Amino acid sequence: MPISDDDVLVTVQSADSTDAAAGHLGWGVLWSDDAVLVPGPSDWLGAGPFDVLVAHRTDGERGDVLRISPLSATRMGSGDGSAVLVQLPARVGRAPSRSLSTRRLREDHATEPDVWTCLERQGAVAPGVRERSTTVLEEIAGWEEQQRSGLSDPGTHGGWIDLMCVLIPGKCDLAGPFDVDGRRPRDPGDPLRR
């Protein structure tokens, strides 16, 4: 079964918030295994530090949630019609297969200033990402709380592979070290943190 943009939820979050609903700044999609693409408006980009929250359901009631500090962010386009490509320090999942014609994107963008709309027209991103309801963030906040409180048993929902990578830094393709809730510690000397 092919992966879709609905299989993995991506949201840009204020780095100062630990609540998925309260910290939500904008929706995005997993563009590649280690990058997300976020539609405009992109005014959040200069508003302060941000994290990327990546969540996916692992069974009927629970899901895994990662909060990741980005390596970089590149705005494409301008104003409300922009899109932001956010590079992450490690792979966070398997991105859907995407088809993109740069020639057609240039042609579309010459008449349509909204980068995201151009990507939707090509089928490179699913329609409706910008209009997603934020009510799902309450469920994701519950998943995060379960993870922080230790109620998430990695042996029951396949998260044991991620757990092994956290416990054996340097042996896996995940960036570490992590603290209990999956976030990198805020070490002023850490180049991955602002």
Structure confidence by residue, pLDDT tens digits, 114-134 = 999 999 998 899 888 999 888
**For the chain, how many residues are written?**
194
Residue ranges and CATH numbers for the domains of the chain are 9-149 (2.40.10.10)
Residue 189 CA from chain centroid, whole number: 24
Please tell me the pTM assigned to this model.
Answer: 0.71
Of 43-47, 77-81, 85-89, the range with the highest mean pLDDT is 85-89
Rounded to 10°, the helix 102-111/115-122 angle is 130
pLDDT of 3 reads 44
- Summarize pLDDT for 15-34 with one digit per residue, the tens: 998 888 999 999 999 999 89
Q: Which two tokens stand for residue 85?
A: 């490509």
pLDDT of 54 reads 92
Nearest-10 Cα torsion for 73, 186, 90, 30: -50
| Mean pLDDT confidence for 82-99 | 88
Residue 111 has phi, psi (to 5 degrees) of -115, -15
Q: What is the largest CA-CA distance in the chain?
A: 52
- Summarize pLDDT for 124-180 with one digit per residue, the tens: 998 889 998 888 888 888 888 877 776 545 454 445 555 555 455 444 554 444 444
Which residue is it, tokens 């398997």? 94
